Chains A and B, each alone.
Chain A
Amino acid sequence: MEMHEIPVSTLSLDVDILEGVVVLHAGGEIDVVTAPALEQKLTELAAMCGGSVVVADLLGVHFLSSAGLAVLMRTADDLEGRSRFLVVAQGPATARPMELVGMTESVEVFASVEAALSTI
């Protein structure tokens, strides 16, 4: 197949730390290739900020597969009882798969970072 011109999956991860709240801005694609990088970063941030709030902002993500959903669910489990874990997602690429697997019942999902931060 001649598909070499199509770039491989990419994921950017930028961290903002403001007043004890850690916001991870993800951009690109979260699939079986990039999900491990997301998991590693979330694990680092979770270890770093015991007792505060972790926000995963997925507004820049345009593909989210079950590998990524599993990372988010494991992070929510990991943080349970010590930190709040908030996810920011909107639209068919990210919020929809979370709804389809019923994740929105167990993880707090917001349409914007501002909406997530307003609940703190």
Chain B
Amino acid sequence: MTPQPPPEVLPPDGRCAADDPRLDDCAESTCLRLTGVEATLTALGPVRHRVAEFVAPLRLTAEAVADVVLASYEALANAVEHAYPADGPGTLDLCAGYDRGEDVLTVTVVDRGSWQPAEDTHRTRRGQGLRLIGACCDRSDVATGERGTRIRMQWECGGRRTPPPEPDQQVDQ
């Protein structure tokens, strides 16, 4: 095993949503921070499962959960496929934060590469991924700086919740 350098801090223009001071009760239940994720395709599946676990307590509809998981995955895959040279090392950060006061879920994916301009042949697929991200969330933006790219996605959770279970509900057969 080659020793890995410690994860870098996030680039200045790639601030993690979970660093937002409004998330003053950033306990484990409201914030998921995965830093230094290896930028390989096989590393992304486990991250997807972590995002699904994180949003589970928010009681969102199955459709909303699927949207959050898919958009997060597309942002990660986009970074792996486009931020680093094919055989180059790289790491990603994913931060998911739930702002209780605003009832807004924010997922941010940060890479430390530069999107590779030579990869025009992948343009169609990349376009599809970014299109899906846009369709899955309420707001998304991409910020690119010298030290990396940040994709931020937000969901208004109100209106995307499953109804609470009826108290003492009997199941009629």
| Residues 25-84 of B contacting A (Cβ, < 8 Å) | 34, 36-37, 41-42, 44-50, 62-63, 65-67, 69-70, 73-74, 77, 80-81
Query: Is B139 part of the contact surface with A, judged by Cβ < 8 Å?
Result: no
Which residues of B lie under 8 Å from residue A3 when comparing CB positions? Answer: 46-47, 49-50
C-alpha spacing A83/B44, complex, angstroms: 35
Q: Which of A16-24, A25-33, A42-50 contacts B (4 or more CB under 8 A)?
A: A25-33
**B135 x A65 contact (CB < 8 A):** no
Q: Chain A interface mostly helix, strand, loop or mixed?
A: loop
Query: Is A41 part of the contact surface with B, judged by Cβ < 8 Å?
Result: no
C-alpha spacing A31/B70, complex, angstroms: 10
Query: Is B124 part of the contact surface with A, judged by Cβ < 8 Å?
Result: yes
Q: Which of B14-22, B102-110, B126-134 contacts A (4 or more CB under 8 A)?
A: B126-134
Which residues of A lie under 8 Å from residue B47 when comparing CB positions? Answer: 3
Query: Is A66 part of the contact surface with B, judged by Cβ < 8 Å?
Result: yes
| Residues 95-144 of B contacting A (Cβ, < 8 Å) | 124-125, 128-129, 131-132, 135-136
Query: Given contacts A70-B124, A70-B128, are A6 and B45 in contact (CB under 8 A)?
Result: yes
Interface size classification for chain B: 20 to 34
Which residues of B lie under 8 Å from residue A97 when comparing CB positions? Answer: 70, 132
Taken residue by residue from 63 to 105, chain A's Cβ proximity to chain B (1 for < 8 Å, 0 otherwise) reads as: 1111101100000000000000000000111001100110000
Query: Is A1 part of the contact surface with B, judged by Cβ < 8 Å?
Result: yes
**A31 x B128 contact (CB < 8 A):** no
**A100 x B132 contact (CB < 8 A):** yes
- Name B's A-contacting residues (CB within 8 A): 34, 36-37, 41-42, 44-50, 62-63, 65-67, 69-70, 73-74, 77, 80-81, 124-125, 128-129, 131-132, 135-136
Closest 3 A-B residue pairs measured CB to CB?
A92-B66, A100-B135, A3-B46
Listed A/B pairs (16) with beta-carbon separation below 8 Å? A1-B37, A6-B50, A8-B45, A31-B44, A31-B48, A32-B77, A65-B129, A65-B132, A67-B125, A70-B128, A91-B62, A92-B65, A92-B67, A96-B67, A97-B132, A101-B131
- Name A's B-contacting residues (CB within 8 A): 1, 3, 6, 8-9, 29, 31-33, 63-67, 69-70, 91-93, 96-97, 100-101
